[in-house]
Structure 1
Amino acid sequence: MTTNEQVRSVRRIGAGVGEGVAAALVALVVAAVGLFAFSAVQWPAFNSSNVTRALTTVGQVVAIALLVVSVLLIRLRKWPVVAKLASWVGISSFVTVTLGMPLAATKLYLFGVSVDQEFRTEYLTRLTDSAALRDMTYVDLPPFYPAGWFWIGGRVGNVLGMDGWEVFKPYAIGLLAVAAAVALVLWTQLVRADLAVGAAAAVTAMTLAYASPEAYGAVLVVFIPPVLVLAWGALHRSSGGWGAVLGTGLFLGVAACFYTLYLAIVAFTVVLMAVVAAGVAVYTRKEDLRPRVGGPRAVGGPAPWRSAIAPLTKLVVIGAIAAVLALVVWAPYLLKMLSGAKLPSGNAFHYLPQSGAELAFPMLEFSLRGALCLLGVLWLVLRAGTSRRAQSLGLGVVAIYLWTLLSMAATAAGTTLLSFRLEPVLLALLAAAGVFGFVETAALVYRAMNDSTPVRTAAGVVAVLGALAFAQHIPTVLTHEIDTAYTDTVPTDVPNAEGTFGERADKRKPSAVAYYHAVDEALLARTGRPRDETVVLTADTSFLSFYPYFGFQALTSHYANPLSDFKDRAATIAAWSKLDSAPALLDAMSTAPWRAPDAFLFRRDGDTYTLRLAEDVYPNDPNVKRYTVAFPKTLFADPAFTTTDIGPFTLITVRR
Structure 2
Amino acid sequence: MTTNDEARAGRKIWSGLGEGTAAAVVALVVAAVGLFAFSAVQWPAFNSSHVTRALTTVGQVVAIALLVVSVLLIRARRWPVAAKLLSWVGISSFVTVTLGMPLAATKLYLFGVSVDQEFRTEYLTRLTDSAALRDMTYVDLPPFYPAGWFWIGGRVGNVLGMDGWEVFKPYAIGLLAIAATVALVLWMRLVRADMAVGAAAAVTAMTLAYASPEAYGAVLVVFIPPVLVLAWGALHRRSGGWGAVLGTGLFLGVAACFYTLYLAIAAFTVVIMGVVAAGLAVYAKRATSKSASWHAAIAPSIRLAAIGGIAIVLALVVWAPYLLEMASDPKLPSGNAFHYLPESGAQLAFPMLEFSLRGAFCLLGVLWLVIRAGSSRRAQALGLGVISIYLWTLLSMAATAAGTTLLSFRLEPVLLAVLAAAGVFGFVEGATAVYQALNEPAPLRTAAAAIAVLGALAFAQMIPTVLTHEIDTAYTDTVPTDVPNADGTFGERADKRKPSSVAYYHAVDEAILAQTGRPRDESVVLTADTSFLAFYPYWGFQALTSHYANPLSDFKARAATIADWSKLPDSPALVAALAKSPWRAPDAFLFRNDGDNYTLRLAADVYPNDPNVKRYTVAFPKSLFTDPAFTATEIGPFTLITVRR
Give the TM-score range, shorter chain.
over 0.9
Q: Quote the Cα distance in structure 2 between the aligned partners of 1:413 and 1:99.
A: 40
Counterpart in the other structure of 1:633: 622
Report how far residue 341 of structure 1 moved.
Answer: 4.7
Q: Quote the Cα distance in structure 2 between the aligned partners of 1:217 and 1:81.
A: 31
Q: Quote the Cα distance in structure 2 between the aligned partners of 1:7 and 1:562.
A: 47
Q: Quote the Cα distance in structure 2 between the aligned partners of 1:20 and 1:125.
A: 29
- The secondary structure found in structure 2 opposite 1:58 is helix
Counterpart in the other structure of 2:604: 615
- The secondary structure found in structure 1 opposite 2:157 is helix
Written as runs of structure 1 = structure 2, the 5 A alignment for 1:131-146 is: 131-146=131-146
Counterpart in the other structure of 1:366: 355
The one-letter amino acid of 2:227's match is V
The one-letter amino acid of 1:344's match is P
Q: Quote the Cα distance in structure 2 between the aligned partners of 1:283 and 1:447.
A: 36
Report how far residue 499 of structure 1 moved.
Answer: 2.1
Q: How many residues align?
A: 645
Q: Quote the Cα distance in structure 2 between the aligned partners of 1:60 and 1:479.
A: 17
Report how far residue 9 of structure 1 moved.
Answer: 1.5
The one-letter amino acid of 2:469's match is H
The one-letter amino acid of 1:340's match is D
Q: Quote the Cα distance in structure 1 between the aligned partners of 2:12 and 2:626.
A: 73
Q: Quote the Cα distance in structure 2 between the aligned partners of 1:422 and 1:320.
A: 25
The one-letter amino acid of 1:402's match is L
Q: Does residue 223 of the first structure (1) align with residue 231 of the second (2)?
A: no
Per-residue CA deviations over 1:282-329 (Å, capped at 9, x if unaligned) read 11111113xxxxxxxxxx54x100101111111111000000000100
Q: Quote the Cα distance in structure 2 between the aligned partners of 1:4 and 1:565.
A: 57
- Which of 556, 560, 569 is 1:580 aligned to? 569
The one-letter amino acid of 2:513's match is L
Q: Does residue 162 of the first structure (1) align with residue 151 of the second (2)?
A: no
Report how far residue 2 of structure 1 moved.
Answer: 2.1
Per-residue CA deviations over 1:470-525 (Å, capped at 9, x if unaligned) read 00000000000000000000001111133210000000000000000000000000
* TM-score normalised per structure 1: 0.98
- Which of 433, 442, 456 is 2:422 aligned to? 433
The one-letter amino acid of 1:377's match is V
Counterpart in the other structure of 1:79: 79
Counterpart in the other structure of 1:295: none
Per-residue CA deviations over 1:409-443 (Å, capped at 9, x if unaligned) read 00000000000000000000000000000000000
Per-residue CA deviations over 1:19-76 (Å, capped at 9, x if unaligned) read 1000000000000000000000000000000000000000000000000000000000
- The secondary structure found in structure 2 opposite 1:30 is helix
The one-letter amino acid of 2:214's match is E
Counterpart in the other structure of 1:409: 398
Q: Quote the Cα distance in structure 1 between the aligned partners of 2:137 and 2:330.
A: 18
Per-residue CA deviations over 1:562-585 (Å, capped at 9, x if unaligned) read 000000000000000000101100
Q: Quote the Cα distance in structure 1 between the aligned partners of 2:329 and 2:174.
A: 41
Report how far residue 176 of structure 1 moved.
Answer: 0.1
CA contact (8 A) 1:613 1:629 kept: yes
Counterpart in the other structure of 1:176: 176
Q: Quote the Cα distance in structure 2 between the aligned partners of 1:338 and 1:370.
A: 47
Report how far residue 339 of structure 1 moved.
Answer: 1.6
Counterpart in the other structure of 1:116: 116
Written as runs of structure 1 = structure 2, the 5 A alignment for 1:306-385 is: 306-385=295-374
Counterpart in the other structure of 1:590: 579
Q: Quote the Cα distance in structure 2 between the aligned partners of 1:528 and 1:341.
A: 35
Q: Quote the Cα distance in structure 1 between the aligned partners of 2:258 and 2:347.
A: 27
- Which of 466, 479, 485 is 1:496 aligned to? 485
CA contact (8 A) 1:356 1:408 kept: yes
Report how far residue 340 of structure 1 moved.
Answer: 2.5
Written as runs of structure 1 = structure 2, the 5 A alignment for 1:225-624 is: 225-289=225-289, 301=291, 303-624=292-613
Report how far residue 10 of structure 1 moved.
Answer: 1.4
The one-letter amino acid of 1:10's match is G
Per-residue CA deviations over 1:87-118 (Å, capped at 9, x if unaligned) read 00000000000000000000000000000000
CA contact (8 A) 1:341 1:563 kept: no
- The secondary structure found in structure 1 opposite 2:139 is coil
The one-letter amino acid of 2:343's match is Q
Q: Quote the Cα distance in structure 2 between the aligned partners of 1:112 and 1:133.
A: 24
Q: Quote the Cα distance in structure 1 between the aligned partners of 2:282 and 2:88.
A: 42
Q: Quote the Cα distance in structure 1 between the aligned partners of 2:413 and 2:330.
A: 36
- Does 624-633 or 338-347 show the bigger shift? 338-347
CA contact (8 A) 1:202 1:435 kept: yes
Counterpart in the other structure of 1:191: 191
Q: Quote the Cα distance in structure 2 between the aligned partners of 1:340 and 1:24.
A: 42
Report how far residue 155 of structure 1 moved.
Answer: 0.1
Structure 2: 5+ residue runs without aligned partners?
none
- The secondary structure found in structure 1 opposite 2:547 is coil
Written as runs of structure 1 = structure 2, the 5 A alignment for 1:206-217 is: 206-217=206-217
The one-letter amino acid of 1:231's match is A
CA contact (8 A) 1:147 1:329 kept: yes
Counterpart in the other structure of 1:292: none
Q: Quote the Cα distance in structure 1 between the aligned partners of 2:488 and 2:629.
A: 31
- The secondary structure found in structure 2 opposite 1:90 is helix
- The secondary structure found in structure 2 opposite 1:558 is helix
The one-letter amino acid of 1:583's match is P
Q: Quote the Cα distance in structure 2 between the aligned partners of 1:11 and 1:638.
A: 72
The one-letter amino acid of 2:93's match is S
Q: Quote the Cα distance in structure 1 between the aligned partners of 2:40 and 2:298.
A: 59
* TM-score normalised per structure 2: 1.00
CA contact (8 A) 1:612 1:626 kept: yes
Counterpart in the other structure of 2:103: 103
Q: Quote the Cα distance in structure 1 between the aligned partners of 2:488 and 2:555.
A: 37
The one-letter amino acid of 1:395's match is L
CA contact (8 A) 1:557 1:566 kept: yes
Q: Quote the Cα distance in structure 2 between the aligned partners of 1:442 and 1:374.
A: 15
CA contact (8 A) 1:118 1:545 kept: yes
The one-letter amino acid of 2:134's match is R
- Which portions of structure 1, spanning 4 or more consecutive aligned residues, are displaced by more than 3 angstroms? none
- The secondary structure found in structure 2 opposite 1:609 is strand
Counterpart in the other structure of 1:28: 28
